[in-house]
Amino acid sequence: MAQNGAKEEGYINKEPLRDNKEPEEQKAAAESKQQKEEDFGYGLYPERGSSKFQQGSIGESLFTFKHKCQIMLQFAMDTSPYAKLLLGAMKSSGCTVYKDRHFSCEDCDGAVSGGFDAATSQIVLCQNNIHQQAHMNRVVTHELIHAFDHCRARVDWFSNFRHLACSEIRAANLSGDCSFVNEISRFNFGLKEHHQACVRGRALRSILAVRKVSREEAEQVVDEVFDSCFHDHAPFGRIPHSKKDAKFAHRDYESRDRYYANL
């Protein structure tokens, strides 16, 4: 929501203020309208505001995709080397992730698969759009990268566009979104710097989905931070181009202190 801030453009109201409103009422009305226009992507996640069923109720389990989503989430946390590395890194950084507290399976807009809600430190998994385990693994990894960035750095998601762009670049680069297999399945082919082009394109699409900015402004900010953020591979230490790469990265991360422990 991606987990996952831009300089928002647009206006509040071009009509003249009515004389019969007090200044405080005028200010409140303007702020309310501005908040609706600059929702920071929350409109894609309607259940962030309300739920059709009470959380944990039988109706919620029987009449939504939530049960299947929860099972796939648990499987991803237990078996995905990408997710296991990130969960370990967050715990080491003092930000232990708890399944029931930090993940939420919800119905979302058809354009998104997941998001990171920085206001609640919660990852949203779009249960109506995630139907395969491989897809769940990628979404969990992508959003955990945003959560890791939120944990290790003072990311200003809502007002610093560069921070948002950097985390989206890192998530696209390190989550497996741009792996060779995934790109072939999308019928995207290329030889020279294809991975970089994929990362740039997916980061750009993520930004445009949650911020009301022009494509030109988004491209400019992505270009400004791309090199430094693309080469920031923490906590993997490398770009995990495949599940095998991720397993090696996880093994290296688990063994990172072994030498010093034996001194």
Degrees to nearest 5, angle at CA 165 with 134 and 83? 30
Beta strands 122-126 and 114-117 are antiparallel
Strand partners, 114: 125
Q: Where are the alpha helices (DSSP H) in 153-193?
A: 161-174, 180-185
When computed from its CA atoms, the radius of gyration of the chain, rounded to whole angstroms, is: 20
Distance CA 139, CA 196 (A): 20
Could you say which of 38, 143, 216, 219 is catalytic? 143
144 near 171, Cβ under 8 Å? Answer: no
Degrees to nearest 5, angle at CA 207 with 4 and 159? 70
Type of residue numbered 146:
H
- Cβ-in-10-Å burial (0-12, 13-18, 19+) of 94 comes to exposed
51 near 113, Cβ under 8 Å? Answer: no
Active site residue 254: no
Nearest to 153 by CA among 140, 141, 170, 178: 170
Which residues belong to the active site? 143
